[in-house]
Structure 1
Amino acid sequence: MPECDVAVVGAGPAGLLLACVLARRGVSVIVLEKTSGRDDRSRAIGIHPPGVAALSTAGVADAFRAEALALTGGTVTSRGRVLADLDFAPGQEVLTLPQARTQALLADRLADLAPGALRTGVLVRNVLPEGHAARALIERDGREGEVSARRIVIADGVHSGIRDVLAFGWRRVPGEADYTMLDVGGAAGDDRARLHLEPGGVVESFPLPGGGRRWVIRADAPFRSTAAFADMVRQRTGEDIGDTGDALPQSFRAAQHRAGRLVFGPLVLLGDAAHEISPIGGQGMNLAWIAACRLAAALTGPGDREAALEAYARVSLRAAATAQRRARFNMAMGAPMGAARRSARDVAIRTLARGGSGRRLLGTMTMSGL
């Protein structure tokens, strides 16, 4: 007999949220995570309305609202001129919360729902489908073992070694750019996101809970120092980011990939292991949560389970393709460009920000329709 109904490989936001939703529905679940300590790296902070809905499905949305900062809207500028000033509708705000707290809150929720379900320090070396079940070959504390489950969900991130060994496929899709980000503490400020579409490339600024902001710069080369980062923000926007303390800038490439398939017998891909999109604004995390709720419904709903899983894969891949097209457009809007293209872009943004078009623009910015 399998040890559990579902084993999840990876305790990131996607794997933890799926486990919470499944446990809440009475499914026996185990989460296998290779790391043991706390991860305080500065990563996803944005939680969009569909992400909040997913958290509600896990019964943890109120805990997030209590800690997160709700943004009232966003302002887009270019060379000091406002192109768009958009307000989120009540109940449709974007929340910001550091990913370390996101994962901690989800882990706490899982501990309440299924004590002992999260197993850390477990390296999954391979997964083997066996008819209507599967085995995960693991290593823990230098000892080999295995975990058997009716389904194994692979949610171990963009660089998933398991996905690459199996016949899921992994292809690059258009849209990539290099960025550097820095989280700066300080006194509480406003609650609006700011996008500076400057000739040398976009500078983005998102407020954080408890004060301070996350700054993101599009730049082809990493910055040698925090001072160099702050100087570039000042050159492009005229703004002083304030006291950076001991914070160090982190550079990353926003690339995009998509798996060819998400279901292989009893094995299922989820989250960044299934599709990589630009991480700015927490897009990858929110897309993963939307897919996790869809997968939970497929695993627990009535009817033909295999047909439900194939529908999960089809809809999730289509949603990923839509999100990737949006991200590619956003990256193009924030690219360095000459005067003629810049003027055309600015006119287009002003036009899109008006009336019904503005509401549709807000919808795409907050990941609606995925």
Structure 2
Amino acid sequence: MHDVIVVGAGPVGLYTALLLRRAGLDAVVLERRTERSRHSRAIGIHPPALRALASGGIADELRGRGVLIREGVARSAGRPVGTLSFGTLPGDEKYVLAVPQAVTEEVLERRLEEAFPGTLRRGVAVVGTRDAGGSVLAATRTVREDGVLEARLVVAADGARSPLRDAAGIRAPVRRYPDCYVMGDFRDSTQDGDDAVLYLETGGIVESFPLPGGIRRWVVRVGCPVERPTAEDLTQLILERTGVGVDPGTNSMLSAFEVQSRLADRFVSGRTVLVGDAAHEVSPIGGQGMNLGWLDAVRLVPIITASVRDGQDVAGDLALYEKERRAEAAVARRKAAINMALGRPLPAPLMRVRNTVFGSLIRNDAIAGGIARAFTMQ
């Protein structure tokens, strides 16, 4: 019997397993995919998460493979609106680290395999769980055979559509938003260096973020869902709204998405505990989801350790975990909703007024500091 089964080998599941193994627990990670995804959706690592990742040198390696964004620049109609500096942030991490999710997962997976070989088992799907009193049974399926694994606890890190959450009878109502986006990665043709740039335009916001290797990610708000995005259509939208020419032939990632959020009614049910998107799905705008999941793991693993290794009664600690992490996720969801509202289309006269107000606010040091902390989950 294992101490813990972690289901899902995304960034949150891998980091949760690494923390569990470091705590001396027998943990395994089961992942239905046979190979790591190369699709990089989450790119921003915020200071609180960087501090959590500092142990074992993970944060240092990610910093060496990413871009440190120290300023965010706002523009509109070809004119500057203002610049938000992260230099006033508390602590040493006065930046947001931009790293492709594929790189983050590769680093975490390698660290886990080097320190604790065999922890990750790919090609293993969990098709059901059953509480057996003092343990939980996980029914598994591979291309070769079906099986059953037993553990004291299951940690569900299996994403926003979490089958384990549903199997545990936990509700996670969906909240939908009138916001759709197309995003893509292209060779950087700008002179913006390591700055993030927000184009506040009447047709909707355009966001631009630096990535390592001379790549820049572009995210464009559109009015309705795009089923088959093309690099040519996206670069045309960028040109029309911002005046920036981007070469569609350099496209290396392309995606379109509608925005929704979920917040599970409970994070704990019997011997199943939710982390990451399984517990709280928030808008990708603002880049909070992956970071929230890592902070879930930091809070949860000592509680699991106290229970499994030390035999302590942790019912109260689990209840507090659920309360605190749900509250933090609710705050993140509100921040994401505000970010999306600021990016919606506005008539030109209203846009000019709003930009004037926004520009004056970020020139006030006290207000700008508060905005910088809000943007970086502090």
- TM (norm. structure 1) is 0.93
Query: Which residue matches 2:51?
Result: 53
Code of the residue aligned with 2:325 in structure 1: it is: S
Query: Which residue matches 2:375?
Result: 365
Q: Which moved more, 1:53-62 or 1:74-83?
A: 53-62
**Pair 1:335-2:344 in alignment:** yes
Q: Which moved more, 1:200-209 or 1:57-66?
A: 57-66
Q: 1:174 Cα deviation (Å)?
A: 6.1
Q: 1:352 Cα deviation (Å)?
A: 3.1
Following the alignment from structure 2 to structure 1, what is the Cα–Cα distance between the partners of residues 122 and 341?
40
Q: 1:281 Cα deviation (Å)?
A: 4.3
Deviations 1:65-124 (A, max 9, x none): 121111121111222232220222252211111111111100011112221000000010
Query: Which residue matches 2:96?
Result: 94
Following the alignment from structure 2 to structure 1, what is the Cα–Cα distance between the partners of residues 5 and 55?
20
Unaligned runs of 5+ in 1: none
Q: 1:218 to 1:186 in 2, by over 3 A?
A: closer
Code of the residue aligned with 2:94 in structure 1: it is: Q
Q: How does 1:1-370 map to 2 (within 5 A)?
A: 3-57=1-55, 59-89=57-87, 91-173=93-175, 175-186=177-188, 190-219=193-222, 220-222=224-226, 224-242=229-247, 244-247=249-252, 249-301=254-306, 304-353=313-362, 354-368=364-378
Whether the 8 Å CA contact 1:352–1:361 is kept in 2: the answer is no
Whether the 8 Å CA contact 1:176–1:328 is kept in 2: the answer is no
Code of the residue aligned with 2:351 in structure 1: it is: R
Code of the residue aligned with 2:368 in structure 1: it is: G
Deviations 1:30-66 (A, max 9, x none): 0000011231113111111112112124641111112
Q: 1:314 to 1:251 in 2, by over 3 A?
A: same
User: Tell me, what secondary structure is at the counterpart of 1:282?
Assistant: coil
User: Tell me, what secondary structure is at the counterpart of 2:54?
Assistant: helix
Q: 1:8 Cα deviation (Å)?
A: 0.3
User: Tell me, what secondary structure is at the counterpart of 1:198?
Assistant: coil
Q: Which moved more, 1:306-315 or 1:184-193?
A: 184-193
Code of the residue aligned with 2:315 in structure 1: it is: E
Code of the residue aligned with 1:122 in structure 2: it is: V
Q: 1:251 Cα deviation (Å)?
A: 0.4
Q: 1:349 Cα deviation (Å)?
A: 1.8
Deviations 1:128-164 (A, max 9, x none): 1222321111012231111111110011001112212
Q: 1:267 to 1:58 in 2, by over 3 A?
A: farther
Whether the 8 Å CA contact 2:185–2:251 is kept in 1: the answer is no
Code of the residue aligned with 1:229 in structure 2: it is: L
Following the alignment from structure 2 to structure 1, what is the Cα–Cα distance between the partners of residues 315 and 73?
45
Whether the 8 Å CA contact 1:175–1:324 is kept in 2: the answer is no
Code of the residue aligned with 2:241 in structure 1: it is: R
Whether the 8 Å CA contact 2:283–2:289 is kept in 1: the answer is yes
Code of the residue aligned with 1:206 in structure 2: it is: F
Following the alignment from structure 2 to structure 1, what is the Cα–Cα distance between the partners of residues 56 and 265?
28
Deviations 1:232-274 (A, max 9, x none): 1011011112353354631011211111000001110110111
Aligned pairs, how many? 366
Following the alignment from structure 2 to structure 1, what is the Cα–Cα distance between the partners of residues 173 and 359?
35
Following the alignment from structure 2 to structure 1, what is the Cα–Cα distance between the partners of residues 97 and 280?
23
Following the alignment from structure 1 to structure 2, what is the Cα–Cα distance between the partners of residues 344 and 255?
29
Following the alignment from structure 1 to structure 2, what is the Cα–Cα distance between the partners of residues 69 and 281?
17
Indicate the percent of aligned positions where both proteins have the same amino acid: 38
Alpha-carbon RMSD across the aligned residues, in angstroms, is 1.9
Unaligned runs of 5+ in 2: none
Whether the 8 Å CA contact 1:136–1:148 is kept in 2: the answer is yes
User: Tell me, what secondary structure is at the counterpart of 1:36?
Assistant: coil
Deviations 1:174-210 (A, max 9, x none): 6451100010125796001001110000000000011
Code of the residue aligned with 2:374 in structure 1: it is: T
Q: 1:221 Cα deviation (Å)?
A: 3.8
Code of the residue aligned with 1:300 in structure 2: it is: T
Code of the residue aligned with 1:161 in structure 2: it is: P
Following the alignment from structure 2 to structure 1, what is the Cα–Cα distance between the partners of residues 263 and 124?
26
